[in-house]
Structure 1
């Protein structure tokens, strides 16, 4: 499973670099079209907003995998080594539970809700379900990362 998560992490990194480059190009064009050409582009404004949503959600999954999220571990550091491992396992169980219930199941409900009575964006005229699809997809990625972290911690405790 570690090879699967490393491949997903590598793909996420590439996706985040691509999305970051796209948002820089889009916002640069927005500034040029607004101030130089005196004709602001509504398409780039909306695209930048949607790309930022995707960067936020996939960036959260990447940050979770790399351990870059902010954490308060004052109490956990006072526990024994096994206590710290169990606390880490418990936190990962909560993360997996949240990602599964809220992001995956709730996200698919949101996507379904915006795809059935087709809701489209104003400028790009794409289905909003495609934009919102980042929620369940990033949730699934977080679930995979979390389960892998739980498995690794369990093998530390039980030696498998």
Structure 2
């Protein structure tokens, strides 16, 4: 399941990057060829960048390939490394739950309640902010799997 979800996320991020690239290219072409840049290209590229970066964080979390300073864990025994992995995953899960899920859902609710729309595309901003709880749920899922994997490895050591 983890592998399939990561593959899906990978393709979604690639498609969003392509849309962002095409949007920027269209904006540049219209600026230099027609002397009048399209009004929507900047905004679409900005929204795609938001989605790419936040979904990219979920993708990296699923691959367990995020940036890490491993000076301290390098001095630990295997058991302590797995315990540190569990503790780190729990801290990340709590943080992501509070900021991405709770905060993101609240942000979406307020955005729809106030009727906030984007300037050029005139889409409800709640759809742009929807990436927060989606990525948050994915990160939490991946971190729970990491906790379970570390617990399983700990049982093998004992």
Q: TM-score range by the shorter chain?
A: over 0.9
5+ residue gaps, structure 1, are none
Match for residue 87 of structure 1?
84
2:145 corresponds to which residue?
A: 148
Counterpart-to-counterpart distance in 2, 1:108 and 1:9: 23
Q: Tell me the distance in 2 between the aligned counterparts of 1:40 and 1:89.
A: 50
Alignment partners' CA distance in 1, 2:49 and 2:85: 30
Alignment counterpart, residue 134 of structure 1, candidates 112, 121, 131: 131
Alignment match, 1:12:
9
Quote the residue 1:96 is aligned against: 93
How many residue pairs get matched? Answer: 156
State the alpha-carbon separation in 1 of the partners of residues 140 and 125 from structure 2.
Answer: 24
Report the Cα distance in structure 2 between the residues aligned to 1:7 and 1:68, rounded to whole angstroms: 17
Deviation at 1:6, TM superposition (A): 2.0
Aligned partners of 2:112, 2:4: CA distance in 1, in Å? Answer: 30
Q: Deviations over 1:112-143 (max 9, x none)?
A: 01001210000000000000000111000000
Alignment partner of 2:25 out of 6, 23, 28: 28
Tell me which of 104, 107, 111 is aligned to 1:110. Answer: 107
- Structure 1 residue 59 and structure 2 residue 56: aligned? yes
Pick from 74, 78, 86 the counterpart of residue 75 of structure 2. 78
Alpha-carbon distance in structure 1 between the residues aligned to 2:133 and 2:39? 27
Q: CA deviation at 1:158?
A: 1.9
Query: Structure 2: which 5+ runs fail to align?
Result: none
Instruction: Give TM-score scaled by structure 2 length.
Output: 0.96
How big is the shift at 1:101? Answer: 1.0
Query: What is the distance in 2 between the residues matched to 1:157 and 1:18?
Result: 39
Aligned alpha-carbon RMSD (Å)? 0.9
Give the secondary structure class of the aligned counterpart of 2:40: helix
Q: Residue 42 of structure 1: SS of its match in structure 2?
A: coil
- CA shift, 1:51, in A, is 0.4
Q: What SS does the corresponding residue of 1:70 show, helix, strand or coil?
A: coil
